[in-house]
Amino acid sequence: MLSPSPLLNIEGLNVAYRVAGQDLPVLREISLEVLPGQTVGLVGESGSGKSTLALTVMRQLAANGVVTGGRVEFDGKGLLELTENEMRVVWGRELAFVPQNPATALNPAMRVGEQLAEALRLYGAGRAAAEARSRELLEQVRLAEPRRVARSYPHQLSGGMQQRVMIALALSGQPRLLVLDEPTTALDVTTEASVLDLLREQVGQRESSVLYVTHNLGVVATLSDRVAVLYAGELAEDAPTEDLFRQPLHPYTRGLLDSVPRLGQRKEQRPLQGIPGQVPRLRDFPNACVFAPRCPLAIELCWKERPLLDAPTPERRVRCHRWPEIMAGEVSAHRGEVKPIQRAKQEVRRVLNVEDLKVDYPLPSPFLQTLVCKSPRAVHAVREVSVGVSSGQTLGVVGESGSGKSSLARSVIGLAERSSGRVELLGIELPARLSRRSREMLSHLQMVFQNPEEALNPYLTVAESLTRPLIRLRGLSTNEARQQVPDLLAAVRLPADYAQRFPGQLSGGEKQRVAIARAFASGPELLLADEPVSALDVSVQANILNLLAELQVERQTAMLLIAHDIAVVGYLADQIVVMYLGEFMQVSPAEAIFDAPYHPYTEALLSSVPPPDPFVEQKKIRLEGELPSAIDLPGGCPFHTRCPRFLGDICAQQTPPWRETGDGKRIFCHIPVEELVQAQEPVLRFDGKRRTQR
Amino acid sequence: MTAYILRRLAFLALTVFITSLLIFVITQLLPGDVCRVILGREVGEGALEACRADLGLDQPAPVRYFTWLGEFLRGDWGSSYSTDAEILPLVVDRLNNSMQLGALTLLIAVPISVALGVMAALNAGRWADNMISIFSLAVVGLPEFVTGVLLIQFFGFPSIRGDLPFFEAVGRLLLPALTATFVLLAYVARLTRAGVLEELRQAYVRTAVLKGLPRRVVIWKHVLRNALLPTITVVAISFGWLISGLVVVENVFNYPGLGRLMVFAITRRDLPLLQAISLITVLGFALANLAADLLYAALNPRIRVGS
């Protein structure tokens, strides 16, 4: 069979960044094809060079970026040789780009309609035609009220709406190739799901080709025909999606797949296997395999000789010395049987007790309103929730942005003041205000933050960061505190000589380990972890999750885990709370969360997460509309405005009851459990065939 | 928006009220006796008493303050201690002159410095950028009396030429305005340069380029609109300074503006005149500030249109 000639053909591309007179290589000998009508997923972690590759194709390399070799051909012509003027006919009309963050990618001072119409006029439409066509495009990207959207400024739209506008813009010139750079990474899962639907539909209709750059294996599994895996600036593997997920030939691909928690995967059954070490920051490409330092299958040859890009089948390519053995099943990059992480002993004692907790953030009220004594308006972040955690147990809180999950954590630890309700630690009430809490209370309550880059003081050594809680909260002398540093570092599997390093000398994963060591230093009874892995690379994420779980079992610490990623929470937690608009929708044992019956919101959430596995069949439930304002909350059930199982007036007017299911869940819903059981089927089903959505 | 403007106006009134208090207190604390200045040293206690009673200086301070404020608001600004002339027409006349000078300065300074700033930013790091930096810094480094005197050497003292009053006015204003321009030039140009560079880095500029728009459209339509926002507010605020702060320029060119009148009032201990000028100056600054904020809000949809 004669394959069609590729629309985009990248051959032996080398790119470097020139820093202080030196060339730092970012991409080495990248070769990649995108056929007409094909969607190619480009997967990699930070530092893999995936964004640099996308920008090189778009001819938007940073000012200090230089192409040091190779070709990029688009439809047979060399893109890199075109002048900027020649590119202007290619941009938009042949080649369009959707960036990661739509909020900054639209001109804040221009109405959305004009930003679209301006492009359409450039592509030859008259003034009136451009305006009509831009409304048409806004309608095609499923924006309700396209007229109103066209008249809006970007800041008046939600993130999901902004990204739809960007997609409309990218489609406006009928380009043959779309380059998408993490277009859904800044969005919530339910929004992401509908944007991905939209992309698939629009791309399918137009038969455009797509180069989809992402770190998210779930997204590639859902969307792409082929997947190319980039590691440290090199192409590790390139294969049709089914083949890649069924039998990855590169140990790095295997490692990635083993690092991502699947929906329903649990630490005590099938622990994650992270890749040790971290993505190297290369000053130079070695004459060896770049993955060798982290590879479980590395042999002497891997250190001595750089593997070639081989083609095991006409469809696949891989850069690994040992692919024939891997393909034949003689060796495996699976890290053997990893010891399952034990669950903590049964509930020993209640550590945290939260009763009717309410968090409001008052809005600044206009002067006149204060004069007439109108009560100030407020953002109702958390609305009278009650929950508890026992020692050695993990309570996971899942929700999208605006759900109140972070406010819940912040009010427990004292960073936000609760408006009413009780928070008890070991039976003693914690004052709402942080300054009223005793040193002992503070030492029993510690937190791990989302972004380790910001959580450590850059001017303190690791040892200084670790001794501070010991000195200030436990009252140790500086010397006594210093003696504990090696133990703390060992506990988070860091070498003892890291004590004298500064945060700037550590990788992201290592910084998070230090932050965890610091949190455990004062011997807390309760650890709050607010998105502890969401800022980390996939391959590092798994190790941090396992570390948290192991430390927790060792020390019998109770943990409150906040995350937007339901798979992460499902992996680590013993009990899971699903939050929406400041209220609990569902409380359930972790094992039961993936099984029906669900709260309708949980159901939608589960059906929105793209599973990192193309053979999982997923039910398609999408939420309409936007998250309601947390200032003027909807009455009745907070979810009624978007609920796919909306019953009618009862949902809009009456507070739902808590209903008990057979498997230990509690669901906040008007629909009786029996009816939910009847109506719902499992969201996820595995049948070995490529995913089609039900 | 209306509520915003009303609130800002209320704050403005409050600002002016508080400064009027301050001005009053400070002028009362100034050393020296006005009546001695007026009547001279060799005068008896009786004449001084009579003079103070005449000027109302024997009243308690709060009474004097409210009398002064009330009269000021009614337009009765009293007469100057030193010249006996009515203050209101005098100050209004000088204010008018100052505003003409200020307006012409902005008219010259803004287009030139914005153009220089944009040019520098678009050529950042290249020789054009360096030349502009050097030129504007050199110009701003020279004190006004030096640039002013140099200009006079070069072009001759501005004499009243031409027949039409308009050209006559422009001729009289041109050199002082140029001198003041030099003071603003570097500042506004640097601010513009920084603003443009900042915007060029934004993601929406890449979006515009990737639509295939010509570079000049990207710059004019997308970049400048956002980049000039901070410049516009600074220019508006600087109008307040141009009206009353050009003391040196006005002196070099012997220009009858508000700044010179203020120096005159200070040297003569002419309290009513000084109070009137100070209050007008504060009002001018406050209004310029308000104009800056309103302009910023009007040009920035993120403030103008709520979400």
Smallest CA–CA distance from A61 into chain B, residue? B206
How many CA atoms, within 13 angstroms, populate the side-chain half-sphere of residue A513?
Answer: 26
Mean pLDDT value across residues A520-525: 93
Query: CB contact, 8 Å: A158 with chain B?
Result: no
Contact criterion met (CB < 8 Å) for B302 and A155: yes
Q: What is the DSSP string of A259-324?
A: HSPPTT--TTTS---PPSS-----SS--SS-TTGGG-TT--HHHHHSPPP-B-SSTT-EE--TTHH
Smallest CA–CA distance from A369 into chain B, residue? B3
Q: Which residues does chain A have within 8 Å of residue B300's beta carbon, measured at their own beta carbons?
A: 109
Q: Which residues does chain A have within 8 Å of residue B215's beta carbon, measured at their own beta carbons?
A: 84
Shortest CA distance to A259 belongs to which of A212, A222, A287, A296?
Answer: A296
pTM listed for this prediction: 0.87
Query: CB contact, 8 Å: B287 with chain A?
Result: no
pLDDT for B135 equals: 86
Interface mutation target, options B207, B295, B299, B300, chain A, most CBs of A under 10 Å: B207
Shortest CA distance to A141 belongs to which of A121, A110, A116?
Answer: A116
pLDDT for A107 equals: 95
Give me the residue from A60, A109, A173 closest to B301, CB to CB.
A109
Contact criterion met (CB < 8 Å) for B226 and A366: no
Query: CB contact, 8 Å: B7 with chain A?
Result: yes
* Residue A246, pLDDT above cutoff 90: yes
Contact criterion met (CB < 8 Å) for A105 and B203: yes
Q: How far is B208 from chain A (nearest CA, A)?
A: 8
Give me the residue from A89, A110, A153 closest to B212, CB to CB.
A89
* Residue B307, pLDDT above cutoff 60: no
Q: Which residues does chain A have within 8 Å of residue B211's beta carbon, measured at their own beta carbons?
A: 91-92, 118-119, 122, 169, 173
Contact criterion met (CB < 8 Å) for A122 and B212: yes
Give me the residue from B7, B211, B301 closest to A119, CB to CB.
B211
Q: pLDDT digit string (tens) for A481-515?
A: 999 999 999 999 899 999 999 999 888 889 999 99
Distance CA A354, CA A440 (A): 19
H-helix or E-strand containing A15? strand A8-19
Mean pLDDT value across residues A299-322: 94
Q: Which residues does chain B have within 8 Å of residue A116's beta carbon, measured at their own beta carbons?
A: none
* Residue B68, pLDDT above cutoff 60: yes
* Residue A224, pLDDT above cutoff 60: yes
Q: pLDDT digit string (tens) for B267-297?
A: 887 888 888 898 888 888 888 888 888 888 8
Q: Encode A359-388: b = buried (16+ Cβ within 10 Å), e = exposed.
A: bbeeeeeeeeeeeeeeeeeebbbbbbbebb
Distance CA A640, CA A649 (A): 10
Q: pLDDT digit string (tens) for A136-169?
A: 999 999 898 899 999 999 999 999 999 999 999 9
pLDDT for A579 equals: 96
Between B236 and A118, the higher pLDDT residue? A118
Mean pLDDT, rounded, of chain A: 90
Give me the residue from A92, A110, A368 closest to B211, CB to CB.
A92
Between A687 and A589, the higher pLDDT residue? A589
Give me B227's structure tokens.
Answer: 């980049």
Shortest CA distance to A36 belongs to which of A80, A83, A74, A69?
Answer: A74
Contact criterion met (CB < 8 Å) for B302 and A173: no
pLDDT for A164 equals: 93
Q: pLDDT digit string (tens) for A27-70?
A: 999 999 999 999 999 999 888 899 999 999 999 998 889 999 99
pLDDT for A1 equals: 44
Query: CB contact, 8 Å: A105 with chain B?
Result: yes
Query: CB contact, 8 Å: B206 with chain A?
Result: yes
Shortest CA distance to A171 belongs to which of A92, A258, A62?
Answer: A92
Mean pLDDT value across residues B226-235: 88
Smallest CA–CA distance from A58 into chain B, residue? B210
Smallest CA–CA distance from A153 into chain B, residue? B301
Q: Are strands A177-181 and A65-74 parallel, antiparallel or unpaired?
A: unpaired
Q: Which residues does chain B have within 8 Å of residue A630's beta carbon, measured at their own beta carbons?
A: none
Between A364 and A36, the higher pLDDT residue? A36
Between A680 and B4, the higher pLDDT residue? A680
Mean pLDDT value across residues A440-455: 91
Query: CB contact, 8 Å: A171 with chain B?
Result: no
Q: How far is B153 from chain A (nearest CA, A)?
A: 47
Query: CB contact, 8 Å: B121 with chain A?
Result: no
Residues 356-375 of A with CB under 8 A from B: 366-368
Backbone angles phi, psi at A42, to 5 degrees: -115, 105
Smallest CA–CA distance from B307 into chain A, residue? A156
* Residue B32, pLDDT above cutoff 70: no
Query: CB contact, 8 Å: B161 with chain A?
Result: no
Query: CB contact, 8 Å: A108 with chain B?
Result: yes
Q: Which residues does chain B have within 8 Å of residue A58's beta carbon, measured at their own beta carbons?
A: 210
* Residue A405, pLDDT above cutoff 90: yes
Q: Which residues does chain B have within 8 Å of residue A153's beta carbon, measured at their own beta carbons?
A: 301-302, 305
Contact criterion met (CB < 8 Å) for A366 and B3: yes
Q: What is the complex's ipTM, to 2 decimals?
A: 0.85
pLDDT for A182 equals: 92
Interface mutation target, options A87, A107, A148, A182, chain B, most CBs of B under 10 Å: A107
Give me the residue from A93, A106, A368 closest to B212, CB to CB.
A93
Contact criterion met (CB < 8 Å) for A91 and B212: yes
Query: CB contact, 8 Å: B160 with chain A?
Result: no
Tokens 């929470």 sit at which residue? A569
pLDDT for A365 equals: 63
Mean pLDDT value across residues A438-445: 92
Contact criterion met (CB < 8 Å) for B211 and A91: yes
Q: Which residues does chain A have within 8 Å of residue B303's beta carbon, measured at their own beta carbons?
A: none
Give me B182's structure tokens.
Answer: 């030099």
Distance CA A312, CA A327 (A): 9
Q: How far is A84 from chain B (nearest CA, A)?
A: 10
Query: CB contact, 8 Å: A155 with chain B?
Result: yes
Between B138 and A600, the higher pLDDT residue? A600
Which range among A15-19, A237-241, A572-576, B156-160 shows the weakest confidence by mean pLDDT? B156-160
Between A287 and A249, the higher pLDDT residue? A249
Mean pLDDT value across residues A334-349: 68
Q: Which residues does chain B have within 8 Å of residue A166's beta carbon, measured at their own beta carbons?
A: 207
Q: Which residues does chain B have within 8 Å of residue A115's beta carbon, measured at their own beta carbons?
A: 207
Q: How many percent of chain A have pLDDT more than 90?
A: 70
pLDDT for B28 equals: 73
Extract the runs of DSSP E, i.e. beta strands, from A134-266.
177-181, 209-214, 226-231, 234-240
Under 8 Å between Cβ of A365 and A328: no
The Cβ of residue A596 has, within 10 Å, a number of other Cβ atoms equal to 19
Residue type at B119?
Answer: M
Q: Which residues does chain A have within 8 Å of residue B202's beta carbon, measured at their own beta carbons?
A: 104
The dihedral built from the CA positions of residue A398, A399, A403 and A407, taken in this order, carries a sign that is positive
Tokens 């299958």 sit at which residue? A297
Q: How far is B35 from chain A (nearest CA, A)?
A: 47
Beta-carbon pairs below 8 A across chains A and B: 83
Give me the residue from B203, B211, B307 closest to A122, CB to CB.
B211
Q: Encode A537-568: b = buried (16+ Cβ within 10 Å), e = exposed.
A: bbbbbbbbbbbbbbbbbebbbbbbbbbbbbbb
Q: How many percent of chain A have pLDDT more than 70?
A: 96
Distance CA A625, CA A627 (A): 7
Range with the largest mean pLDDT of A211-225, A329-343, B247-261: A211-225
Q: pLDDT digit string (tens) for B79-112?
A: 887 788 888 899 999 999 899 899 999 999 999 9
